[in-house]
Structure formats: C-alpha cells, structure tokens
Amino acid sequence: MNQNKTLKDNITSIILGVLSIAWIYPVFMILFNSLKKETAISTGTAFQLPTSETLAGLANYVNALTSKGFLTAFWYSLVITLTSVVLILICCSMCAWFITRVNTWYSKALYYLFVFSMVVPFQMLMFTLSATADRLKLSSPYTICIIYLGFGAGLAVFMFCGFMKSIPIEIEEAAMIDGCSPLRTFFMVVLPILKPTLISVGILETMWLWNDYLLPYLVLDRTKGYMTIPILIQYFRGSFGKVEMGPMMASIMMNIIPIIIVYLLCQKHIIKGVAAGAVKG
C-alpha cells in the first residue's frame, strides 16, 4: 500500500513539475527576449538564449522607461490598484458583516446577488458600463475604483461571509456591552479577526487589478493621457504593423515582476484565507 502511494505521489509530482515548466516557460522567453536586440527577436532566434551578438543589455528597458511614458502609466496602475483594493476590503467586509449578522430574507437575497455577480460575463456589461462611467465622470484613475468596487465585490463578499460565520457572536456582544458602537465594534473587534481573509482577498484583488486591461481601456479617458501599463504596452505597436518587440518585452517584464514578488511573498496567506473563507460556515 505504501509503495503504491509513493508511486502515485511521484507520478503526481512529475506531472505537476512538467505543468509548472510549461507555465513558467513563456515568462523566461519574455525575459530572454527583453535582453536581445530588435533584429534578434524578429528573426528565428527568438526562442534561443541571448548571445554576445544578440545581447542588447538594458537598452530595451531604458527605451521602455523613456519613450512611452512608462513611469506615468506605472503611477496610474499603482493608484488604481491601491485605491480599489482598499475600497473593496473596507466596503465588502462591512457588507459581509451585515449579511451574516442580520439574518433576514433580504440579507440572504443580497448575499446571493453578490454570488451571482461572479458568474456574469463582463462582455454583457462593458458597453453600458463605458457609457455610464462617462456620464458619471468616472473616467479617471482616481475615480475608476468605484467601478472596480462593483466588479470585485462578489468574490470579496463571498469569502468574507464564509469566514465571518466562524466568528463567535459573543465577542461582539461583549464589546457592545462595554459601550462600543456598531461601527467601533466592527473596526476594533471584527476587522482584526478578519486579518487572514483580508490579506488573501487583498492579494487576489491586487493581481486582478494590476493586470486588468479591458476595463481601464474602455473607461479611462486616454485623451488626457490616462493609461495603465497593460494599455501602454500596446502602444509599442506602430504603423504598418511594426512592433518594437524589445521595449515591449521589457515593459511586460517590468509589469509582471512586482506582482510575482507580491504573490511569492504572500501565497501562504492566500491559501489560509481561501480555506477560511470558502470552507468554514
């Protein structure tokens, strides 16, 4: 029995190892090509390691940083991600607290509406959303967080509700007996207990927001220079089909490295938070 189990574990490890290599291979290809000269990328050497003849060093990265406004786009991406994540965490945790503590038919209906929103395709809403955002003056990096709150609320409320059900209500009742108002009870008692789920939801939402392309492309007013990094990358495609592959690869690497670092540092919190939010209750 133990030998069969060991054999299965080894086969599973080999399969997962092969899948991991298949997933990470494109990242390494982007990294290698970001260090190559333009002619080397466009020819048949795109899948080969850089050599002394094809190596461009950091020239592509310098070009990416200076030619298209990468730092401005980086700032807008950072602003959108941080403001949206903070708004989602605060509003959705409070909403989940209300849903789990107010046990009525409309709170249950509200919960199922949030869950249902996770399965609605974005393509069904994007044209109406674009027109609505334009009417409400939400077409800037500093206001688009309101739109992201709506799209990120489904997953966040689902996970917060799952974890909230495991919190003994006696803790909150004791705080209220000591004179805490509902708002103070939430921020001083409930919110610290929610730390595992707060971290995991924050990381998952950050990875989605940082890499999102379609929603900012539809909503942001690009006539005012509002672009995130995913939008900026397409501007390395010039007229007559010409593409600046070197700077584009460098921009992609500079976009994915921060989020990879965040994920690697916080992946254990994601697992804990997902387990707490999706299993308990």
Per-residue HEC secondary structure of 22-81 comes to: HHHHHHHHHHHHHCECHHHHHCCCCCCCCCCCCECCCHHHHHHHHHCCHHHHHHHHHHHH
Q: Dihedral, CA atoms, 211, 216, 221, 222, nearest 10 degrees? A: 40
Angle between helices 195-211 and 245-278 (to 10 degrees): 150
CATH architecture of 68-278: Orthogonal Bundle (1.10)
- Residue by residue, pLDDT tens for the chain (281 residues) are 566 677 787 888 889 888 988 888 888 888 888 888 877 777 766 677 777 777 877 888 888 888 788 889 999 999 999 999 999 999 999 999 999 888 888 888 989 899 888 888 888 888 888 888 888 888 899 999 999 998 889 889 998 988 888 888 888 888 888 888 888 888 888 888 888 888 888 888 998 999 999 899 989 988 888 899 999 888 887 655 677 788 888 888 888 888 888 878 877 766 665 555 444 44
Q: Do 202 and 259 form a contact (C-beta atoms < 8 A)?
A: no
Q: Which of 273, 280, 278, 122 is nearest to 203 (CA)?
A: 273
Quote the CA–CA distance of 41 and 64 in Å, as a whole number. Answer: 16
Quote the CA–CA distance of 191 and 97 in Å, as a whole number. Answer: 10
Q: What is the pTM of this model?
A: 0.84
Q: Do 219 and 130 form a contact (C-beta atoms < 8 A)?
A: yes
Enumerate the domain spans of the chain: 1-58, 68-278
